[in-house]
């Protein structure tokens, strides 16, 4: 299996622009997670999907952030409009069944908002 | 403090020495997991220990869990330069999602 795939790996954008991050989970995994990692705040869970349904989005910072999972093999995290404080590494992870199962992380997307 | 918090924040040892990292948490958990993150990469799962287990081994890794003290330790024996990474514990309180600690940065010097 190819593992969790994220794209792009790096994104540099200007403040106010829309940013879309993409994730393909491991085939057969039912849970998908979006995390944000910064030096200041560490690794934060943004949103968790189970069977394509958002279960917990309490970590989504504000309305500028939205996430979708239209099918079992694809998810997006969108930031509109982006701000410099959104600069971080965004990870997607998937697990087999439950949120407490072993999570498999993608390589991350390093976002820089100028 | 956070639900899961590693100690120390940073650790520097010589190759061949053992490295011990600790994780403390606040609420009862379903299981506890340790992950490794190499610089610029995603997290990689190392080991999962359930609340009814006290010790698990995987290669050079040994994890212990003391639910009475709400703490876990990760021991890496005979460390190698390739073990240089950040190590995170992730705790899963019952009915809740994982919470990752801030991590321990391990440097293994050749």
Backbone angles phi and psi of A91, in degrees to 5: -110, 145
What tens digit of pLDDT does each residue of B22-45 get?
999 988 888 899 999 999 899 999
Whether residues A100 and B97 touch (CB distance < 8 A) is answered with yes
**Contact A106/A6 with Cβ under 8 angstroms?**
yes
DSSP-based three-state secondary structure for B83: helix
Residues 6+ apart with CB under 8 A from A69: A32, A49, A52, A53, A54, A75
B-side interface with A, Cβ within 8 Å?
30-31, 33, 35, 41-45, 48, 88, 90, 92, 97-103
Q: Residue B1's pLDDT band (boundaries 50, 70, 90)? A: very low
- Would you tell me how many other CB atoms lie within 10 Å of the CB of residue B1? 9
Summarised one tens digit per residue, pLDDT across range B54-104 is: 999 999 999 999 999 999 999 999 999 999 999 999 987 777 777 888 999
**With pLDDT > 90 as the criterion, what percentage of chain A qualifies?**
84
Q: How far is A81 from chain B (nearest CA, A)?
A: 26
What is the rounded end-to-end Cα distance, in angstroms, of chain A?
A: 36
CB contact under 8 A, A43 and B100: yes
The answer to whether the Cα torsion of A44, B55, B104, B82 is positive or negative is negative
The answer to whether B42 contacts A91, with C-beta atoms less than 8 Å apart, is yes
Whether A58 shows a pLDDT value over 60: the answer reads: yes
| CB atoms B101 and A42 under 8 Å | yes
Tokens, residue A50: 């189970």
pLDDT at A91: 97
Find, in chain B, the residue whose alpha carbon is nearest to that of A41. Answer: B102
Per-residue pLDDT of A4-46, as tens digits, reads: 999 999 999 999 999 999 999 999 999 999 999 998 888 999 9
């Amino acid at each position: 299996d190819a593992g969790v795939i994220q794209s792009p790996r790096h994104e540099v954008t200007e403040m106010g622009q829309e940013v879309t991050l993409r994730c393909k989970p491991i085939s057969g995994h039912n849970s998908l997670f979006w995390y944000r990692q910064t030096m200041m705040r560490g690794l934060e869970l943004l949103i968790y999907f189970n069977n394509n349904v958002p279960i917990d989005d309490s970590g989504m910072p504000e309305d500028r952030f939205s996430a979708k999972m239209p099918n079992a093999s694809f998810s997006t995290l969108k930031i509109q409009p982006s701000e410099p404080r959104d600069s971080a590494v965004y990870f997607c992870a998937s697990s087999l069944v439950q949120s407490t199962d072993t999570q498999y992380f993608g390589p991350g997307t390093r976002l820089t908002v100028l | 403090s956070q639900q899961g918090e590693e100690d120390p924040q940073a650790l520097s040892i010589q190759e061949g020495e053992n490295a011990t990292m600790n994780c403390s948490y606040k609420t009862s958990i379903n299981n506890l997991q340790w992950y490794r993150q190499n610089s610029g990469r995603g997290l990689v799962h190392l080991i999962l220990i359930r609340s009814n287990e006290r010790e698990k081994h995987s290669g050079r890794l040994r994890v212990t869990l003391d639910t009475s003290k709400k703490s876990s330790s990760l021991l890496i024996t005979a460390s190698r330069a390739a073990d240089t990474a950040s190590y995170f514990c992730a705790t899963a309180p019952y009915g809740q999602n994982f919470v990752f600690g801030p991590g321990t940065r391990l440097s293994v010097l050749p």
